[in-house]
């Protein structure tokens, strides 16, 4: 496993997690990005308590097996490839207020990338990005950047 200081700090939107779960192939951009974190350990996932709750609630709504959800929750709480942060500054620049948690988590964790498929986040004007300190990219954009 690469040392923590060499891993790229990222926040995954819930749609990336779901995208990899629903992917019919491990070659999709969502699955490849997820594998960079889980299998290759090249990424350091940044999460906050509200984001963990969002991940778990979504997996439950999708009917994912409770044991699998439990293992995922445990990984988020204890894995060395996960950085847990408390939220600080809140941003209100996305069209969807639910995205504020993602922006605040990425900012508090000093993430380099917020990885999403959400147009509300991807359409935030580049001028607004300067205040974040991180880039908002699609999974395919992260793969190109790395």
Enclosing domain of residue 134: 4-145
Residue 69 to residues 13, 22, 62, Cα–Cα distance (Å):
17, 15, 11
Residue 127: pLDDT band with limits 50, 70, 90: confident
How many domains in the chain? 1
> In this predicted structure, which of 35-44, 66-75, 97-106, 121-130 has the lowest mean pLDDT?
121-130
- As given in the structure block, the two tokens for residue 72 are 């995922």
Predicted confidence (pLDDT) at residue 129 exceeds the cutoff of 80 = no
What's the CATH number where 27 sits? 3.40.50.1010
At 1, is the secondary structure helix, strand, or coil? coil
CB 49 within 8 A of CB 60: no
The answer to whether the predicted template modeling score (pTM) of the entire model surpasses 0.85 is yes
Q: At what angle do helices 100-108 and 49-61 cross, to 10 degrees?
A: 140
Average pLDDT on 105-116 reads: 96
pLDDT in tens, 131-142: 888 999 999 999
* Mean residue pLDDT across the chain: 91
């Amino acid at each position: 496993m690469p040392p923590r200081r060499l891993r790229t700090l990222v926040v995954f939107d819930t749609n990336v997690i779901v995208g990899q779960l629903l992917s019919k192939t491990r070659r999709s951009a969502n699955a490849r990005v997820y594998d960079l974190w889980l299998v290759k350990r090249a990424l350091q996932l940044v999460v906050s308590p509200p984001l963990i709750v969002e991940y778990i609630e979504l997996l439950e709504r999708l009917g994912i097996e409770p044991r699998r959800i439990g293992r995922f929750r445990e990984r988020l709480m204890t894995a060395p490839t996960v950085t847990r942060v408390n939220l600080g500054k809140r941003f209100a620049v996305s069209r969807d207020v639910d995205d504020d948690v993602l922006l605040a988590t990425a900012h508090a964790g000093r993430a380099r990338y917020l990885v999403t498929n959400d147009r509300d986040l991807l359409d935030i004007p580049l001028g607004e990005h300067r205040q974040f300190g991180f880039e908002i990219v699609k999974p395919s954009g992260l793969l190109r950047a790395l």
